[in-house]
Amino acid sequence: MQSSDIKVQLIEESKISQVDFNNLPFGSVFSDHMLECDYKDGKWQTPVIKPYSPITLDPSAKIFHYGQSIFEGMKAYKDAEGSTLLFRPLENCKRLNKSAERMVIPQIPEDIFMTGLKKLLEIDNNWIPTKEGSSLYIRPFMFASGNGFHASPANAFKLLICTAPSGAYFAGKVKVLIEEKYARAANGGVGFAKAGGNYAAQFYPTQLAIEKGYNQVIWTDDNTHEYIEEAGAMNIFIRINDTLITSPTSDRILDGITRKSIIQIAKDSGIDVEVRKITVSEVIAAAQSGSLKEMFGAGTAAVISPIAGFGYQEKDYDLPELENPLALQLKKQITDIQTNKAEDPYGWRVKL
């Protein structure tokens, strides 16, 4: 697909003058345009870029009844010269299609995804923030638009890509609760996919944790609740002494792009990294002995979110305040690559 193939309907008057780019929330201010592409009659149609606006669906659209919905999270940045940059966008496209396969949604051709995304960012280029710590958050999502109450996959779908100039996802460190009852995902399920229902199911136990004074939940395995799996909507890293540990991906754990990047950068920086199962009891023992140095979540939205402390079985554990924690070192290395402040030896940065 060529950029010229995409239909473009420009907004009559931009909303950009109404936005305070120095005080951006996360994900609630939306850019002028969005991309929409329909799947019908057995194939993806020509994408359309049009003003950001509501969409109309029939009440019997299967997204409302059977939850065929997936999404991705990406960011666009500008460097000091004003160039537009993406971070490992093909990994997002691959993961979107991996989620699509599991949810019986037609996979989106890479050329439609990338050409459409680049054209959208070209049109709304002025919406990409330049303030330190800000970025243009990109939300591609696909869902069942086909109609009918029959419990079966839809025959029509939509891909939309919307963007939101955003500030930081979390401000400062967070306090988390290790979950003992509820599970985020199960073996053989859809935990590895970025399916909307995964996140909806997290809200209730997370709300219970918030009511107890915590910010987020650390998820444990669905069978025994003995193994640490994820932190809220992010992958989790645990530093014991000078070793960085993270759980292996599985049916239950998302193959995070930030996670993969951290593992690579950490190994290349000489940090001892172990990708293995880690038990709650090992983390508690490390906290009690003083060998637990850091815990942090990792994901596109926050990049890295340090954890200040955690609760388990009615007891709280505080993590030490370190002068130069690995979390901040690794976050700087990743964001410097993303924003073209450092060399990119991996070829992750894509300049538009």
**199 within a domain of the structure (yes/no):** yes
pLDDT at residue number 120: 98
**pLDDT-based confidence at 168, cuts 50/70/90?**
confident
**221 within a domain of the structure (yes/no):** yes
* pLDDT at residue 170 tops 80: no
Are both 102 and 160 inside the same structural domain?
yes
Whole-structure pTM value: 0.95
Query: For residue range 141-166, what is the model confidence (pLDDT) as tens digits?
Result: 999 999 999 999 999 999 999 999 99
Are both 78 and 127 inside the same structural domain?
yes
Are both 322 and 286 inside the same structural domain?
yes
Domain boundary pick from 98, 131, 166: 166
Are both 91 and 188 inside the same structural domain?
no
* pLDDT at residue 101 tops 80: yes
**114 within a domain of the structure (yes/no):** yes
* pLDDT at residue 281 tops 90: yes
**What mean pLDDT do residues 74-85 have?**
96
CATH number at residue 161: 3.30.470.10
**What mean pLDDT do residues 236-250 have?**
97
Query: For residue range 3-21, what is the model confidence (pLDDT) as tens digits?
Result: 889 999 999 999 999 999 9
CATH number at residue 332: 3.20.10.10
**352 within a domain of the structure (yes/no):** no
**349 within a domain of the structure (yes/no):** no
Are both 216 and 179 inside the same structural domain?
yes
**345 within a domain of the structure (yes/no):** no
pLDDT at residue number 3: 85
Are both 191 and 330 inside the same structural domain?
yes
Q: Could you tell me whether strands 174-178 and 303-312 are parallel, antiparallel, or unpaired per DSSP bridges?
A: parallel
pLDDT at residue number 287: 97
pLDDT at residue number 136: 98
Are both 197 and 249 inside the same structural domain?
yes
Are both 162 and 264 inside the same structural domain?
no
**258 within a domain of the structure (yes/no):** yes
Are both 111 and 257 inside the same structural domain?
no
User: What average pLDDT is seen over the chain?
Assistant: 96
Domain boundary pick from 97, 131, 166: 166
**344 within a domain of the structure (yes/no):** no
pLDDT at residue number 293: 98
Measured CA to CA in angstroms, residue 243 lies from 282, 326, 332 at distances of 13, 10, 19
Are both 104 and 181 inside the same structural domain?
no
Percentage of the chain lying above the pLDDT 90 cut: 95
Domain boundary pick from 166, 201, 226: 166
Number of separate domains in the chain: 2
Are both 146 and 180 inside the same structural domain?
no
**What mean pLDDT do residues 329-337 have?**
97
Q: What is the 3-state secondary structure (H, E, C) of the chain?
A: CCHHHCEECCCCCCCHHHCCCCCCCCCCCCCCEEEEEEEECCEECCCEEEECCCCCCCCCECHHHHCCEEECCEEEEECCCCCEEEECHHHHHHHHHHHHHHCCCCCCCHHHHHHHHHHHHHHCHHHCCCCCCCEEEEEEEEEECCECCCCCCCCCEEEEEEEEEECCCCCCCEEEEECCCCCCCCCCCCCCCCEHHHHHHHHHHHHHHHHCCCCEEEEECCCCCCEEEEECCEEEEEEECCEEEECCCCCCCCCCHHHHHHHHHHHHCCCEEEECCCEHHHHHHHHHHCCEEEEEEEECCCEEEEEEEEEECCEEEECCCCCCCHHHHHHHHHHHHHCCCCCCCCCCEEEC
Query: For residue range 184-241, what is the model confidence (pLDDT) as tens digits?
Result: 999 999 999 999 999 999 999 999 999 999 999 999 999 999 999 999 889 999 999 9
Answer whether 106's CB lies under 8 Å from 112's CB: no
Are both 138 and 18 inside the same structural domain?
yes
Query: For residue range 24-68, what is the model confidence (pLDDT) as tens digits?
Result: 999 999 999 999 999 999 999 999 999 999 999 999 999 999 999
Domain with 202 in it = 174-337
**pLDDT-based confidence at 1, cuts 50/70/90?**
confident
Query: For residue range 104-134, what is the model confidence (pLDDT) as tens digits?
Result: 999 999 999 999 999 999 999 999 999 998 9
Query: For residue range 252-264, what is the model confidence (pLDDT) as tens digits?
Result: 999 999 999 999 9
Query: For residue range 293-312, what is the model confidence (pLDDT) as tens digits?
Result: 999 999 999 899 999 999 99
